[in-house]
Amino acid sequence: MRAGLSTVATGGVELPAIEVERVPHAAEPRSQASKLTTADGEAIDPREVNAKLEGLGAAEAIAWALETFHPRLRFAASFQKTSSVTVDIVSKLTAESGASPANFFYLDTDVLFDETYMTRDALAARYGIEFQRFSGISLQEQADLYGDSLWARQPDACCGIRKVEPMRTALTGIDCWVSGIRREDSQTRAGAAKFGWDKRFGLWKLNPLADWTESEVWDYINEHEIPYNPLHDAGFPSIGCTHCTRPPGADGDARSGRWADAHKTECGLHG
């Protein structure tokens, strides 16, 4: 058997080997953005941009990204609380500028909570957004290939199939993507820059809410009366797939309820 592969036996039948390396340390670049330029073609230093963005608010950072990259720019939506904030900011900026609508997308693992789909629909109705859906193979195909409940046996491989591979498709043909991660989320995200090169997917990445606190997120949502995922009110600070998400313990950080039994806190999209 080749290195990096494992087999699954079900009912005495050996299923095809699964490539655990579906979640890579680095992916081949899918974008041709090897240098950063403004919309007018003026070359600028990404390090200087990040230093500048660190001193700007989220709306200013997003406005800069729209001016620099749109329409080769996509906003990821997980339909958690930070997605609600980003959708509101972007919608107001594009309305004020008269620009064409921004591109929003989401990864549908087919095992998202009902409340997550409800939040998607509520935001779509409120802001007139069509969220582009990206997904991988069906759950049945995954079970046929690798056995049932892959998320319980090999969560990295499951995330690779259901999230990382669709993400590569979602980021094809663009120069920059925008996420809602925050430094407060977990230790693995504490050093997140507001802007930089995403080595995993081979394009630029903006984290406009990187320096926001939990209180700032909720203050913004409440002030602007934005729809948000009701699971946050049920003790879920971080929300993923149904099988791998639970409320964190009293001593855990916001993401400790994700893959709680797997010594894992990231799905492979952010490192």
Alpha helices per DSSP H over the chain? 46-54, 58-69, 81-97, 114-127, 139-146, 150-153, 155-159, 165-170, 214-224
CA pair distance 135, 197, nearest whole angstrom? 24
Catalytic residue among 159, 176, 241, 267: 267
| 159 is known as an active-site residue | no
CA pair distance 247, 236, nearest whole angstrom? 5
**Do 8 and 14 form a contact (C-beta atoms < 8 A)?**
yes
- Locate 197 and state its tokens: 């090169």
CB atoms within 10 A of CB 223: 8
**Do 15 and 44 form a contact (C-beta atoms < 8 A)?**
no
Q: Which residues are catalytic?
A: 267
